[in-house]
A and B are shown apart, each in its own frame.
With several copies, the nearest count.
Chain A
Amino acid sequence: MTYAYLPHTPADRAAMLDSIGVSSMDALLSHIPKALREVRLDLPRPHAEAEIQQRLARLAARNVSASQQASFVGAGVTHRYRPAAVDQIASRSEFYTAYTPYQPEVSQGTLQAIFEFQSMICELTGMDVANASMYDGSTAVAEAALMAVRVTNRPRVLVCGSVHPEYEAVTRTYAQGPGLVIDSLPTRADATDVAAVKAALTPDTSALIVQVPGVLGTVADLAGLADVVHAAGALLVVVADPIALGVLEAPGRWGADLVVGEAQGLGNAMSLGGPHVGYMACRDAHVRQLPGRICGMSQDAEGRPCFTLTLQTREQHIRREKAASNICTNQALNALFSTIHLALLGPEGLRDVARTSALRAHHLADRLTRLPGCRLAHPESPFLSEFVLTSPVPATQLRDALLARGILAGLPLDTWWPERTHDLLIAVTEMNAPEELEALVAGIAAVVSAQGGQRSQEAVHA
């Protein structure tokens, strides 16, 4: 059998063994206990490339993609427009087949892209410094919690109910290591309740973690929050959607100490939830507690400005068990996707993405809440481009009924909270053309009225 990725011919192998001075591969492996060397793996036969393509195309066809239906599911992963240039440029071999830029002389491309990513994150968040990326939004939140614990030397973390449930779950898993206590503020979609926060902060609390927009789409008012948190000696951690920051005030301006989040919507495919890219930004004062890689400017031997990874004494390969985090490989290529996307958008394009999404969402919400029995679950809270619709039909039933119309209407909230049976989380982006909004309204109207009809029928027959 020949393999396209293995260059050696039998003649090559023979010549190399000869040069090594052994008679066979087995001889070369003879120091491994023989019993261990007798394995037979139950795997598929080797496939030709055409067969691999056909098999994977067939598997892909068994998924329903966002281009095959009108999709209104968000909740942390958004179907946004990825300009064609992003993938075409980021897919250059020089970017994706390079390793971590430990050798700056042959890695200036990756390094400068990281520096630009860091700079853009700082611009968006209004913070001083950002790292080169985290695995995703969830682990960025967890690492932010750990960092707050390191900075404050306090063992509790207060998580607001507006934080994505999976982010909180990951934070709880991470907390098992050092044995931290995670306190929850009750799930609230409306503007952050400063009094409740104040009450929940303890002398052991290292941080309050809030999310904007919250997982239910609502936008909390951050004014005054930092003061309360700081007064209690804790840090304010804000989880922010970077696209929303195209129109929302930067968390840095509200006094956040750490801003983290998920940048998938910037240039990264949804890809069933990964690979995406987490980001993390902090104040200058805390940079030595920041986990992950950081790129900085330097000079070469001839005085030319250039880039290199820096402040590595925070990292595992230098500090081992004393490192700020164990993270090594991060999501560099995904950060590059985000960087190129942001560069293409510019400030106006970013604002347009957020604005088109939000205006369409408000139009949709307006239309939907005119349907019988349909209302916003959180009418008292402002929202941006995602909202919860309470409908007379159970949300899962509603969602499933619309699949046949080529519409994925949203996320039923009983996925997370069993009691929220009639709540559907609906996300709107620039990918949802006005016709799709119309189709969704018509679809929900049809299901709701059919149900209404059925109910009145039931009433008649009862």
Chain B
Amino acid sequence: MPELLQPVILGEGAPGRRGVVIPEPAVAAPELAEVLPASMLRREAPALPQQSELETVRHYLRLSQLNHAIDKGFYPLGSCTMKYNPKVNEWAARLDGMANIHPYQPESQLQGALEIMHDLQQWLCAITGLERCSLQPAAGAHGELTGILMIKAYHQHRGDARRTRVLVPDSAHGTNPATAAVAGFEVVTVASDGRGLVDLADLKSKLDDRVAALMLTNPNTLGLFEEDILEIQEAVHAAGGLLYYDGANFNAILGTVRPGDMGFDVVHLNLHKTFSTPHGGGGPGSGPVVVGKALEPFLPVPIVVRDASGTYRLESDRPLTIGRVKAFFGNFGMHVRAYAYILAHGAEGLAQVSRDAVLNANYLKANLKEAFEMPHAQPCMHEFVMSGSRQKAKGCNTLLMGKRLIDFGIHPPTIYFPLIVPEAMMIEPTETESKETLDRFVTAMHTIAREVDETPEVVQQAPHTTPIKRVDEVLAARKPVLRWRP
């Protein structure tokens, strides 16, 4: 029977071993049993590992070796903007004066941190073309919730209680409808048309006085710019609704186009995509929201402001605020990184970022369009979606081709999303990849396409080079084993 590549650490070690020694109390004080009732004290110690520091280090080092990562190779995961995470950002966030500060210190002890947050708020306003920013949300979906709750508060404040619906295109990311639902709205889906863009007619047919907002990603999840955006925004606003901008795809327009100019009322940004903070294997993120005049009164508290004297303060006195969406001020460590990232580029550099991102995506698209089906012929923005249906017909679906890519040292694209393209492969190269890397990817994809024709079993049994072979995801859900037990 094959074993786990690395045992689960909880069962490892021997009683009495430890990986770190803790200072003795070294004061005169009663033991715990004397200050707490016996019933409150733990009877059975938790079954944690008992290992030396070395063995613990080895365990996690070995686990790390089992991951793909940006620093190891190409990661063209659509919608995720797997760009390079600059090392100086990591350095900055770990500075003593950044990492070891407490949110309840007096503001006088936090002027450097507050300046960073203040400037970042300003810069994000400039970048989005909007008025006011809160850095509090912890991720994209959290920003969405914040934005939609503000929209709810806006309509409520106007006494407009009928607006119970949020419109969401069928190409939208899952968090959009989920957020609207969590915020107590009914979700109404808007169809895409043959161009892959919002079907204007369908949209208009659904616009009425029950609509609180339209949530839009632009470019959308097909990587296509919603060319009718000005018309869309007029229609939604005319119907009394607001426009929510999902900033997950902001890398496409950074420094080039601004949501505020497109007529959006609120934007969330994913600092962990566009602004290069690391994904960390699933987080942390940071999802600041930036709003226009209409929503400004409803922003969560606190917000950082700058006195006339140049002193930075936390402002909480905002009567119409929706309140807090998170304890403290958001994921400050990510703010520091995004701040450093913006400093490295300036306006000119950020525009170059989006232009190179768009260039890279179009380059890949142009070079793959012979071998794979491209549902949308027009130029894409920072990513594009192609279909594996031609290959599926030959017995190798998108999932299998993705797994096969692993053997070339490349992470599979996002697959089966967006839902409106069959056998979707969503490819986002990002601007930090060189032409050489893109060319290697093109070669790999062509090789796979050829294998589908000539040696489909090679694709069907992929991946071949990983320490574990294809994982049975159905089994995991059918017989859930969700924890180690002693």
Contacts and interface: CB of A to CB of B under 8 A. Distances in A.
**Is any CB of A less than 8 Å from a CB of B in the complex?**
yes
A163 B363 CA distance: 54
B19 A346 contact: yes
A326 B178 contact: yes
Nearest to B34: A362
Contact of B96 (A60, A76, A103, A132): A60
B152 A5 contact: no
B95 A298 contact: no
A177 B26 CA distance: 50
Interface string A234-254: 000000000001111110010
Contacts of A85: 19-20, 53, 56-57, 87-88
B149 to A, nearest CB: 6
Given A245-B46, A308-B471, A359 B144 contact: no
Contacts of A46: 21, 343-346, 348-349
A129 B71 contact: no
Interface string B231-266: 000000000000000000000000111100110000
Contacts of A313: 477
B22 A93 contact: no
Contacts of A250: 42, 46
13 contacts: A10-B16, A44-B343, A49-B344, A52-B344, A95-B64, A108-B63, A123-B48, A177-B184, A273-B330, A319-B178, A323-B174, A326-B178, A329-B282
A49 B22 CA distance: 7
A400 B106 contact: yes
Interface string B472-484: 1101110011111
B67 A122 contact: no
A356 B25 CA distance: 4
7 A-B pairs with the lowest CB-CB distances in the bound complex, closest first: A273-B328, A60-B97, A333-B280, A62-B112, A344-B19, A332-B282, A275-B284
Interface in B335-363: 336, 339-340, 342-350, 352-353, 355-356, 358-360, 362-363
B308 interface: no
A4 B102 contact: no
Given A110-B67, A347-B46, A3 B21 contact: yes
A68 B96 CA distance: 9
Nearest to A168: B324
A17 interface: yes
Interface residues of A, number: 219
Contact of A315 (B29, B100, B174, B331): B174
B101 A135 contact: no
Nearest to A124: B46
Interface string A348-382: 11111101101110111010000000000000001
Given A177-B183, A272-B332, A41 B127 contact: yes
Interface string B22-63: 111111111110011101111101111111111111011101
Contact of B50 (A87, A146, A347): A347
Given A71-B102, A106-B68, A178-B184, A287 B482 contact: yes
B483 A66 contact: no
A455 interface: no
B420 interface: no
A326 B42 contact: no
A170 B327 contact: yes
Given A110-B282, A333-B278, 20 more contacts: A16-B360, A36-B229, A46-B348, A56-B92, A62-B112, A66-B102, A95-B64, A106-B66, A137-B327, A170-B323, A177-B152, A177-B183, A275-B334, A303-B1, A304-B469, A306-B4, A317-B417, A344-B19, A351-B45, A356-B23
A48 B22 contact: yes
A39 interface: yes
B193 interface: no
B116 interface: yes
Given A60-B97, A110-B67, A132 B282 contact: yes
Contact of A4 (B28, B178, B229, B344): B344
Contacts of B82: 99
Interface stretch (B135-143, B203-211, B451-459): B135-143
A287 B55 CA distance: 33
A103 B468 CA distance: 12
B198 interface: no
Given A12-B14, A28-B358, A270 B100 contact: yes
Contacts of B323: 169-170, 172-173, 176
Contacts of B366: 19-21
A167 B325 CA distance: 9
B266 to A, nearest CB: 16
Contacts of A94: 64-67, 69, 71-72
B372 interface: no
B2 to A, nearest CB: 4
A62 B97 contact: yes
Nearest to A16: B363
Nearest to A173: B323
B9 to A, nearest CB: 5
Interface stretch (B289-297, B388-396, B427-435): B427-435
A458 interface: no
B355 A84 contact: no
A274 B342 contact: no
A126 to B, nearest CB: 9
Nearest to B99: A269
Interface in A20-49: 20-22, 25, 28-29, 31-33, 35-37, 39-49
Contacts of B328: 77, 166, 272-274
A59 B339 CA distance: 12
Interface string A312-336: 1101111111110111111111101
B272 interface: yes
A35 B473 CA distance: 48
Interface in A402-418: 403, 408, 411, 415
Interface in A222-279: 223, 245-250, 253, 262, 269-275, 277
B194 interface: no
A221 interface: yes
Interface string B66-80: 111111100101001
A353 B149 CA distance: 40
B318 to A, nearest CB: 13
A20 B363 contact: yes
A169 B316 CA distance: 13
Given A73-B102, A332-B280, A346-B19, A297 B256 contact: no
A433 interface: yes
A37 B468 CA distance: 48
A247 to B, nearest CB: 6
B192 interface: no
Contact of B181 (A40, A321, A327): A321
Contacts of B14: 7, 9, 11-12
Which of A7, A223, A403 neighbours the largest number of chain B CB atoms within 10 Å of its CB?
A7
Which of B14, B23, B59, B141 neighbours the largest number of chain A CB atoms within 10 Å of its CB?
B23
A408 B110 CA distance: 13
Interface in A105-125: 105-110, 112-116, 118-120, 122-124
A212 to B, nearest CB: 9
Contact of B476 (A122, A297, A320): A297
B88 A330 contact: no
Contacts of A419: none
A275 B331 contact: yes
B412 interface: yes
B443 interface: no
Interface stretch (A202-210, A288-296, A445-453): A288-296
A226 B170 CA distance: 44
Contact of B256 (A37, A48, A247, A331): A37
A50 B46 contact: no
B343 A62 contact: no
A50 B344 contact: no
A3 B349 CA distance: 7
A181 to B, nearest CB: 13
Contacts of B162: none
